[in-house]
């Protein structure tokens, strides 16, 4: 990631870590007539946490955020911020900061007026507004831009103004709805750094909605994968990537190869031996949380090709079906013997390595600890 | 079409089209403009072509007490009617475009109905009602009637203005601590101001030119310019009518130019400011 912006000018106020709000969704749900957009959901977000909600569009993540902001009244349940139910509190009294995907900067106001707007609504004096706007502009490194109109700024600058505006009144909870969705890739990575730094400086709890799994994994302390109005899995980015509970989570976060499981042969603590429909016997990890295990999930970088594969817990002789160079790695599709299971394998690329030819046989192997059984859905 | 412009056949077709468009324009505008030479006639009767050129009827118009009173009445009726229509039209547009109201399509159609229905229907319906409450011939009576027929104009222009930007601006204002009223004052109003101004001018223009409701609901003391013109046409066919009409036409065109100017200026101000990408 891009680390080229070290000149962060510190927080608006001496913001101690741990001043963020605790958020609790308590058996919350939302339906429009017969259409349920959010099934009964309970979720607790810790003070100061950067929590990401990810999932495809229509999965309910924006509904959850809208409920917290006060735009979408829940059909059932309670939403508590620091223990107080806020469902009946109108949006303008919730004191929650929000950054929108299209930034929603008021086009008829200057940058400084935009940032000063929440302070004006709170009845701050002119002098105080000027002072705090100045500090907020410095914080997002736009010191000289106060007099400009939003339309005169670049996308990244507009985004920073939106951040400053949502943070200038020191909310203890910040909501971000795909805040980087409209930016190009390089700028997005730079802004991710900025958001992370800002969050640390403010100490606020941040709830971040995105459909970009890389962004979520980089930013979030914890994340929740949503699907069809339900929480599919919650955990740290590493937990979700390495121990996905379902096929959906496994393929939503990064690349995964799935081998179907026909029969459980043996279980020894967390390790199991399973048989695939093609007759392959595979050793893998089985986290106990989910009862129904229907497939083995493998990440492409955890599979070894060549002679070294023979020393692994699982070892087969496969056939290369496809071989391509991608930046930084060689990417193979390898068919396992006696089945139509094809594994995606990624091997670090360097000048001393030959690209295997399609059609050639190759040893494929991985340790039991690198394969995880998941619910196949 | 453009790619084929060099081909003679297409060139002829193109010229023909242009010629046709010019003819249509003349057909539409000429009858209206025929009033201009009529108004310059020195003759005491309306006839075409006028036998000479004179400004005597403009002079007569300028000195006519009847017309002075009628112009004053038109303003006394048009301005409050347009203001009332604007207040109601803005609220209706906000409710239909931004509000969570059911049947919004039906509602929008109903709101536009007074503009589409024949005014004679409204006039015949309103007359006995207004007579019952004693509003026939009074200023409030005709102001209310004109507000009803012009409200759709404001509703249409303001709805269009509201649809040019996403509601996230208002949602943002609310998360930042602005209650609904302050959200309207600081965010919604500045963003739809041009639509409101244009709607008001349309409403004023409409009231200024409206005849049928004025015939039913005004009295000789509250009669408007169009009603006076109509009455004079029935009794005396002097070119003072033509002179008055030209002045009315000029005022209408000036107001419409003002509306066009307001619309262009707002587009220029907020150009590219819809807040998406650089």
Nearest C-alpha in B relative to A99: B172
Region of B48 please: left (phi>0), alpha (psi -120 to 50) or beta.
beta
Residue from the list A70, A93, A102 with its beta carbon closest to the beta carbon of B168: A102
Q: Does B186 touch chain A (CB under 8 A)?
A: yes
Tokens of B46: 């309306």
Single out the residue of A252, A230, A227 nearest to residue A240, CA to CA: A252
* Chain B residues within an 8 Å CB radius of A165: 176
Q: Does A185 touch chain B (CB under 8 A)?
A: no
Distance CA A99, CA B165 (A): 17
Size of interface A-B (CB pairs under 8 A): 95
B171 and A153 in contact by Cβ < 8 A? no
A100 and B172 in contact by Cβ < 8 A? yes
Instruction: Give the minimum alpha-carbon distance from B61 to chain A in angstroms, rounded to a whole number.
Output: 46
Q: Grade residue A235 by pLDDT with cuts at 50, 70 and 90.
A: very high
Single out the residue of A59, A56, A79, A60 nearest to residue A68, CA to CA: A79
Query: Is the pLDDT assigned to residue A376 strictly greater than 70?
Result: no
- Location of structure tokens 């002075």: B68
Tokens of B253: 């065109």
In angstroms and rounded to an integer, the radius of gyration of the C-alpha atoms of chain A is 25
- Give me the interface pTM, i.e. the ipTM: 0.81
A108 and B166 in contact by Cβ < 8 A? no
B174 and A102 in contact by Cβ < 8 A? no
A117 and B277 in contact by Cβ < 8 A? no
The pLDDT score that the predictor gives to residue A50 is 94
A91 and B171 in contact by Cβ < 8 A? yes
The pLDDT score that the predictor gives to residue A158 is 92
Q: Does B272 touch chain A (CB under 8 A)?
A: yes
* Chain A residues within an 8 Å CB radius of B182: 121
Say what the alpha-carbon torsion angle B167, A60, A26, A91 is, to the nearest 10 degrees: -10
Distance CA A44, CA B242 (A): 78
Instruction: Give the minimum alpha-carbon distance from A168 to chain B in angstroms, rounded to a whole number.
Output: 10
Q: Does A73 touch chain B (CB under 8 A)?
A: no
Q: Does B51 touch chain A (CB under 8 A)?
A: no
Which of A92, A94, A113, A176 should be substituted to probe chain B, the one whose Cβ sees the most B Cβ atoms within 10 Å?
A92
Q: What is the pTM of this model?
A: 0.79
- Please, which residues have CB within 8 angstroms of residue B84's CB and are 6 or more apart in sequence? B143, B144, B147
Question: DSSP E strands: which ranges in A109-193?
Answer: 173-177
Single out the residue of A14, A3, A15 nearest to residue A48, CA to CA: A15
Domain limits, chain A: 23-242, 247-374
* Chain B residues within an 8 Å CB radius of A107: 191, 270, 273-275
B190 and A108 in contact by Cβ < 8 A? yes
Q: Does B166 touch chain A (CB under 8 A)?
A: yes
Instruction: Give the minimum alpha-carbon distance from B191 to chain A in angstroms, rounded to a whole number.
Output: 7
* pLDDT, tens digit (0-9, with 9 covering 90-100), for A92-139: 999 999 999 889 999 999 999 999 999 999 999 999 999 999 999 998
Nearest C-alpha in A relative to B187: A106
Instruction: Give the minimum alpha-carbon distance from B68 to chain A in angstroms, rounded to a whole number.
Output: 42
A104 and B168 in contact by Cβ < 8 A? yes
The pLDDT score that the predictor gives to residue A303 is 92
* pLDDT, tens digit (0-9, with 9 covering 90-100), for A163-197: 999 999 999 999 999 988 878 888 888 889 888 88
- Please, which residues have CB within 8 angstroms of residue B185's CB and are 6 or more apart in sequence? none
Query: Looking at domain A23-242, which CATH architecture does it have?
Result: 3-Layer(aba) Sandwich (3.40)
Q: Quick check: B244 and B236 in contact, CB under 8 A?
A: no
B277 and A96 in contact by Cβ < 8 A? no
pLDDT, mean of residues A334-350:
87
One pLDDT digit (tens) per residue for chain B, 278 residues = 455 556 788 888 999 999 999 999 888 888 788 888 888 888 777 777 777 788 888 888 888 888 899 999 999 999 999 999 999 999 999 999 988 888 888 999 999 998 888 889 989 998 999 999 988 889 999 999 999 999 999 999 999 999 988 899 999 999 999 999 999 999 999 999 989 999 999 999 999 889 999 999 998 888 999 999 898 888 877 788 888 888 888 888 898 898 888 878 776 555 444 433 33
pLDDT, mean of residues A339-368:
88
* pLDDT, tens digit (0-9, with 9 covering 90-100), for A285-310: 887 644 556 888 999 999 999 888 88
The pLDDT score that the predictor gives to residue A9 is 37
Q: Does B265 touch chain A (CB under 8 A)?
A: no
B278 and A155 in contact by Cβ < 8 A? yes
Instruction: Give the minimum alpha-carbon distance from A118 to chain B in angstroms, rounded to a whole number.
Output: 5
* Chain B residues within an 8 Å CB radius of A96: 175
* Chain B residues within an 8 Å CB radius of A102: 166, 168, 274-276
Which of B161, B176, B267, B268 should be substituted to probe chain A, the one whose Cβ sees the most A Cβ atoms within 10 Å?
B176
Instruction: Give the minimum alpha-carbon distance from A46 to chain B in angstroms, rounded to a whole number.
Output: 21
* pLDDT, tens digit (0-9, with 9 covering 90-100), for A238-282: 999 998 988 899 988 888 998 888 888 888 888 888 888 888 888
Give me the residues of A, 130-169, that contact B with CB < 8 A: 149-151, 153-156, 158, 165-166, 169
- Please, which residues have CB within 8 angstroms of residue A158's CB and are 6 or more apart in sequence? A103, A105, A150, B275, B278
A117 and B190 in contact by Cβ < 8 A? no
Q: Grade residue A212 by pLDDT with cuts at 50, 70 and 90.
A: confident
Give me the residues of B, 200-239, that contact A with CB < 8 A: none
A118 and B168 in contact by Cβ < 8 A? no
**CATH code reported for the domain at A247-374:** 2.40.50.140
A108 and B191 in contact by Cβ < 8 A? yes
Q: Does B273 touch chain A (CB under 8 A)?
A: yes
Residue from the list A100, A103, A121 with its beta carbon closest to the beta carbon of B177: A121
Query: Is the pLDDT assigned to residue A375 strictly greater than 60?
Result: yes
Q: A185: part of which helix (H) or strand (E)?
A: helix A185-202
How many residues does the structure list for chain B? 278
- Please, which residues have CB within 8 angstroms of residue A105's CB and are 6 or more apart in sequence? A111, A114, A150, A158, A161, A162, A165, B275
* Chain B residues within an 8 Å CB radius of A103: 275-276
């Amino acid at each position: 990631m891009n680390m080229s912006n070290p000149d962060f000018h510190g927080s608006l106020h001496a913001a101690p870590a741990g001043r963020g709000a605790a958020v609790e969704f308590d058996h919350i749900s939302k339906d429009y007539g017969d259409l349920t957009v959010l099934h009964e959901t309970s979720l607790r977000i810790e003070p100061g946490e950067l929590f990401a909600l990810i999932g495809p569009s229509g999965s309910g993540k924006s509904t959850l955020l809208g409920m917290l902001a006060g735009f979408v009244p829940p059909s059932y349940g309670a939403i508590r911020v620091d223990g107080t139910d806020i469902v009946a509190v109108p949006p303008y009294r919730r004191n929650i900061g929000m950054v929108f995907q299209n930034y929603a900067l008021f086009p008829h106001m200057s940058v400084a007026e935009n940032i000063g707007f929440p302070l004006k609504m709170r009845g701050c004096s002119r002098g105080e507004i000027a002072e705090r706007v100045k500090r907020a502009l410095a914080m997002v490194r736009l010191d000289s831009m106060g007099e400009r109109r939003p339309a005169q700024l670049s996308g990244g600058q507009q985004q920073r103004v939106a951040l400053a505006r949502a943070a200038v009144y020191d909310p203890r909870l910040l909501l971000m709805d795909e805040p980087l969705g409209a930016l190009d890739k390089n700028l997005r990575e730079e802004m991710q750094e900025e958001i992370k730094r800002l969050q640390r400086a403010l100490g606020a709890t941040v709830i971040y909605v995105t459909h970009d799994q890389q962004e979520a994994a980089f930013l979030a302390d914890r994340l929740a994968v949503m699907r069809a109005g339900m929480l599919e899995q919650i955990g740290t980015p590493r937990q979700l990537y390495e121990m996905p509970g379902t096929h959906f989570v496994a393929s939503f976060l990064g690349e995964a190869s799935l081998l179907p499981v026909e029969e459980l042969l043996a279980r020894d603590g967390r390790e199991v031996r399973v048989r695939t429909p093609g007759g392959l016997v595979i050793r893998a990890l089985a986290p106990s949380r989910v009862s129904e295990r229907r497939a083995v999930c493998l990440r492409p970088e955890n599979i070894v090709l060549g002679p070294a594969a023979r020393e692994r817990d699982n070892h087969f002789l496969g056939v290369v079906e496809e071989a391509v160079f991608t930046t930084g790695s060689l990417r193979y599709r390898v068919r396992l013997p006696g089945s139509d299971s094809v594994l995606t394998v990624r091997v670090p690329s360097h000048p001393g390595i030959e690209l295997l030819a399609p059609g050639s046989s190759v040893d494929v192997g991985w340790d039991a600890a690198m394969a995880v059984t998941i619910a196949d859905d | 079409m453009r790619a084929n412009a060099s081909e003679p056949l297409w060139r002829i077709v193109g010229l023909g089209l242009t010629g046709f468009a010019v003819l249509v324009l003349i057909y539409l505008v000429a009858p209206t403009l025929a009033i201009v030479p009529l108004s310059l006639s020195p003759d005491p009767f309306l006839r075409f072509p006028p036998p000479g050129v004179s400004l005597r009827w403009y002079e007569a118009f300028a000195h006519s007490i009847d017309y002075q009173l009628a112009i004053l009445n038109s303003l006394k009726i048009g301005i409050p009617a347009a203001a009332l229509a604007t207040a109601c039209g803005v609220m209706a547009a906000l409710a239909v475009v931004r509000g969570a109201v059911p049947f919004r399509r039906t509602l929008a159609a109903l709101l536009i109905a007074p503009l589409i229905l024949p005014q004679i229907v409204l006039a015949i319906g309103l007359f006995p009602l207004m007579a019952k409450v004693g509003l026939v011939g009074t200023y409030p009576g005709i102001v209310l009637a004109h507000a009803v027929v012009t409200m759709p104009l404001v509703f249409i222009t303001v709805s269009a203005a509201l649809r040019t930007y996403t509601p996230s601006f208002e949602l943002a204002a609310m998360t930042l601590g602005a209650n609904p009223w302050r959200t309207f004052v600081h965010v919604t109003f500045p963003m739809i101001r041009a639509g409101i101004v244009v709607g008001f001018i349309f409403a004023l223009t409409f009231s200024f030119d409206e005849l049928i409701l004025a015939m039913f609901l005004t009295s000789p003391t509250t009669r408007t310019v169009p009603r006076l013109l109509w009455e004079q046409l029935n009794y005396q066919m002097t070119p003072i009518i033509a002179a008055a009409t030209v002045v009315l036409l000029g005022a209408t065109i000036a107001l419409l130019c003002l509306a066009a100017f307001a619309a262009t200026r707002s587009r220029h101000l907020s150009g590219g400011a819809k807040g998406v990408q650089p």
